[in-house]
Structure 1
């Protein structure tokens, strides 16, 4: 069972930069990463087991300024752990949809939402060629590869063109595009085993057309 796997490899603990939110996080990051790699190419990396810098910054930004999402429909694209979706729901967004291609991610997101007493819908699949409208589209740490950036950015620009507020959290990943509007910058605690440092300077950006 997916939830059993999530529970077996994580512990419920406050998020370092967003302590209002508790998240199921990996105790042994490298061991879990290696375990999922052993599953073969069909198994995505366990992005769902960590509070990535971009997601933490975005979650902090929403909780500090809830009017950004309160009463609005929200899509958390490539949700991972569901951290940003949970923060949006806590800030008053309705409905909140957490999307990912990884079923384990959605199991983790659903569990994390329940643990935080909020309602988050989960949606499995690749939405990057679709055009359903949301009031707000959120994406934390999605510019980590050329391929991912090349697919995500057109989707985000189309969403902004349809009138959505589109916010991205990013700690200076290699493929962060130009032309975004910086809204805030934070020094975010991160997992040293994954990031080779303990703090990452991370910004929240708005995608505009």
Structure 2
């Protein structure tokens, strides 16, 4: 069964979410769901299909919160640079990059609801440096100086494909930063940790109300770059 098209994803998002600030990033307000099951069920009803993955765009996931916090606290990471927010979801990380002074930000996601959510959230935060990328960017170069990826290691085959691509971008000179709350398929042996955070998250989405979450980058010995100095993240 092919999912039916949604006439107005933006109207759906406005009706099914509230304007909320992620706990670790209170500077940013997003259209977010307060509970996971109702928004999940309503999305399936709207699309006329069951068994859909979670509406990732409707939540501020731990990896994205940590990465957004890191960027806001270290704006030199993105200031004046061309940035990709990969698997952007709500656009939280991309909005943080825009607020931190990025020259422009491509927020890439393949979910049509995410496209609408990113646009709504960018407008809500008065950021005009964001472009929504609706195509699959894995395997492309894009001319980005910085690539940001939050919470992308939850599925084995996809994680392997994504991390091979991120390493290739890093080898070509892009600065790659990854936010992750301990997902199973994060290739830690190929990465270097640069910050730790304790991120409040809904208990129904995760296995704990506070997720120990880290920001990583590819190991410099794999890319020829210089290692950043590890720093501690802010406790909520």
**TM-score above 0.5:** yes
Q: More strand by proportion, 1 or 2?
A: 1
Extract unaligned runs of 5+ from structure 2: 1-7, 224-236
TM-score, with structure 1 as normaliser: 0.96
Distance 1:143 1:41, change over 3 A: farther
Q: Please give the alpha-carbon distance, in whole angstroms, between the structure 1 residues aligned to 2:59 and 2:125.
A: 16
Q: Please give the alpha-carbon distance, in whole angstroms, between the structure 2 residues aligned to 1:99 and 1:154.
A: 18
Q: Does 1:172 align with 2:182?
A: yes
Contact 1:188 1:201 in 2 (8 A): yes
Q: Which residue of the other structure, out of 87, 101, 108, is the alignment partner of 2:96?
A: 87
Q: Does 1:128 align with 2:138?
A: yes
Q: Shift in Å at residue 44 of structure 1?
A: 4.7
Q: Does 1:7 align with 2:17?
A: no
TM-score, with structure 2 as normaliser: 0.85
Q: Please give the alpha-carbon distance, in whole angstroms, between the structure 2 residues aligned to 1:111 and 1:43.
A: 23
Q: Shift in Å at residue 14 of structure 1?
A: 1.2
Q: Shift in Å at residue 106 of structure 1?
A: 1.3
Q: Please give the alpha-carbon distance, in whole angstroms, between the structure 2 residues aligned to 1:72 and 1:183.
A: 20
Map of 1:134-153 to 2, 5 A cutoff? 134-153=144-163
Which protein is bigger by CA-based radius of gyration?
2
Give 1:186's aligned residue: 197
**Number of paired residues?**
209
Task: Give the aligned CA root-mean-square deviation in angstroms.
Answer: 1.4
Give 1:103's aligned residue: 112
SS where residue 97 of structure 1 aligns?
strand
